[in-house]
Copies of this chain bind each other. A is one copy, B any other.
Amino acid sequence: MAGNTFGTLFRVTTFGESHGGCLGAVVDGCPPGLKLSESDIQPDLDRRKPGQSEITTPRKEEDQIRILSGVFEGETTGTPILIIANNKDARPEDYKELSKNYRPSHADYTYELKYGRRDWRGSGRASARETLARVAAGAIAKKYLSERFGTEFLSYVETVNNVTARVDDATVTLQQIEANIVRCPDSNSAARMIELIEKARDEGDSLGGIIRGIVRNPPAGLGEPVFDKIPADLGKAMMSINAVKGFEIGSGFSCVGMKGSQHNDSFVLDDKGHIRTETNNAGGTLGGITTGEDILFRVAIKPVATIRKKQHTVNRQKKPVILEASGRHDPCVLPRAVPIVDAMAALVIMDHYLRHRAQCGEVKK
């Protein structure tokens, strides 16, 4: 298999380059009968689009998508859904200079090593602009899961550099997340994060951070051991996003300091006699299968590689050069990465719902 398709049954194939003619996705395997129009997708794209606030790249793209197949009379038909967005504010000439150099911590060097060439216009296919297509496809999955199971995807920015928010994951709402431009539902922390980002921007530098991922009310019983466990496929989904350096589920790396007697989540009965776990160190899965508890995870995102500060590097002729970035970029991608994390999580859950239904029939819970 080539690497531009995600999912086994709800299959998303993305295409397009940052400064080429268009970007988009083909979504194959969507259940028929889902009401779907561009307006179901656009809001998520608006959360990802550039130029949405003063802390994001000034590139101006409306990222307006069109659905060109697979929907008829307002409903999905079960055939491939083509979603496409044209690039409008493409300025490939901004990158001409960069075509000769290998930017540090970018994909320039490895694409050329692998393929013997590269589309140097704004990183081409390696640009995070590709995630536009993921967000569009993810919006379809989110809609389906919301309507059928009431599942919500509620990622937010938890940490920027040295500022970490305090948030109640059990009650946080989309409205709270969207209340500020940094997408951190703790308004005090949000203010400090914005301050940090603006400072980094002004210094020509960049910042990393952590996105907290929440899947609230996921269907129970999803996951295909032994390899296609939910944590494995979620991990892959997140690690495939540009700039992601780490993934953890439930207790994550903090499990290291705990004993089994502290870490184990006791099974208990809730008011309605349903089986629940008292704690959720597991993060919503056991043996790789969803319990029905919220899926909780974290994604570490590195500081953007593109900075204005001077950097040492080498060029295609293997000569040392000093680089000053041109092109437009974000000082901190986390606010825009929130809908990407949600989208990838939704693609994983949707695909696993279909996989579960194939082998085991409808989900019971």
Contacts and interface: CB of A to CB of B under 8 A. Distances in A.
B4 A263 contact: no
A94 to B, nearest CB: 16
Given A162-B257, A200-B259, A255-B302, A16 B68 contact: yes
The main secondary structure of chain A at its interface with chain B is mixed
Task: Output the residue of A102, A104, A300, A360 with the most chain B CB within 10 A.
Answer: A104
How big is the A interface, by class?
35 or more
A90 interface: no
| A15, A79, A126, A290: residue with the most chain B Cβ atoms closer than 10 Å | A79
Contacts of A31: 359-361
B260 A253 contact: no
A273 B318 contact: yes
A70 interface: yes
A268 B357 contact: no
A17 interface: yes
Contact of A264 (B4, B105, B117, B320): B105
A291 interface: yes
In the A-B complex, list the 7 residue pairs whose CB atoms are closest, starting with the nearest: A107-B287, A3-B224, A246-B248, A206-B260, A2-B29, A236-B236, A3-B228
